[in-house]
Amino acid sequence: MQLKSLQLFMDVVDTGSFVAAAERRHTVQSNVTAHIKKLEQELGAQLFDRKGGARVTSAGRTLADYARPMLQAHDDVVGLFQGDKGRSSRLRLGAMETTTAVRLPPILANYHRRFPEVDLTVQTGPTADLIARFLDGNLDGIFVAGQPEHGRFHLIKAFSERLVLVGPKPMTRQPSAEQLLESTFLAFRQGCSYRQRVELFLASVGVSATRMFEFGSIDGMLGCVAAGMGYTLMPLSTVEAYRQRFEIDYLALPAQIGELDTYFATAAPDSWTPSLARFIETFEAESA
């Protein structure tokens, strides 16, 4: 069983595609396919269901559980002796949509300038999804709202956010409970910490339920808010960044609802790769 085959196997697992795995390794798809077929022949098991993509089978998930720490151990040993210099390495990050759009660009740009050899990927999603991907071993570190209750996380405070109630211009006063009850709220899908704050805010003004529409992007959500479709809760930093593009306004919220810290959650420091350690150093310097 070749190390290269395991690397390509994990690339397919991570990307969900033979084509994307080939692009990541700067090779051709046929090379990836050949390595996977060789693994399947050696193990006597099918690793991917190839109907409509590359879905990992039960046997593939079992192999991934063993292959990931094997590859990590290999990278750690090489990094120990080579100082992570002169070779390509990777860093897989996850972040909420709002964090990715507003907070991360200068940090990622600075990191890329300092360490251009690192292959950097950023996946977006609600906090619950990001936690699940990290625990499955698919991400090296995640930016999440609040402090996850899980023993596997080493938490570093990254940003302090202030959520505000966002609506179409002009907003001169907070809508009444009756108005909120009849209104629609726009939010990211289930698992988003900001969505949970919407529910907390409504409960604080005596509204037990209202219509909630799910969106997958900031642009779509704020565009619909500006058009008068409803309200949303979003970090003030995001609202300020988008106010020139959309006719939106905002009102402050009570501190117990509006204040929410973003944390960078990752593994214990003794398991950090050089690429991860340097990223943490970079964003801590930017956030200071």
Cα Rg of the chain, angstroms:
22
Q: How many CB atoms lie within 10 A of CB 23?
A: 15
Residue 89: predicted pLDDT = 78
Query: 56 by DSSP, 3-state: which?
Result: strand
The CA distance from 99 to 117, in Å, is 24
What is the fold of 160-259? Answer: D-Maltodextrin-Binding Protein; domain 2 (3.40.190)
- Give the model's pLDDT for residue 285: 86
pLDDT digits over 202-257, tens only? 889 888 767 889 888 899 999 999 999 999 999 999 999 999 899 999 999 999 99
Distance (Å, whole) CA 6 – CA 64: 9
Q: What is the pLDDT of residue 85?
A: 52
The pLDDT tens digits for 114-136 are 999 888 999 998 888 899 999 88
Reported as type and span, the H/E element at residue 245 is none
Residue 87: pLDDT above 50?
Answer: no
Region 102-122: mean pLDDT is 92
Does the domain spanning 1-82 belong to CATH 2.60.120.380? Answer: no
Q: Which long-range contacts (CB under 8 A, 24 or more apart) does 17-26 make?
A: 17/53, 17/54, 18/54, 24/119
For 176-192, the three-class secondary structure string (H helix, E strand, C coil) is: CHHHHHHCEEEECCCCC
Burial of 212 (0-12, 13-18, 19+ CB in 10 A): middle
Note whether 118 and 108 are within 8 A (CB).
no
Question: What does the pLDDT read at residue 96?
Answer: 92
Reply yes or no on whether the pLDDT at 6 is more than 70: yes
Q: 18-66: per-residue pLDDT in tens?
A: 988 898 888 899 999 999 999 999 999 999 988 877 888 999 999 999 9
- Could you state, in order of their start, the residue ranges of all structural domains in the chain? 1-82, 160-259
- Which pLDDT does position 80 carry in this prediction? 55
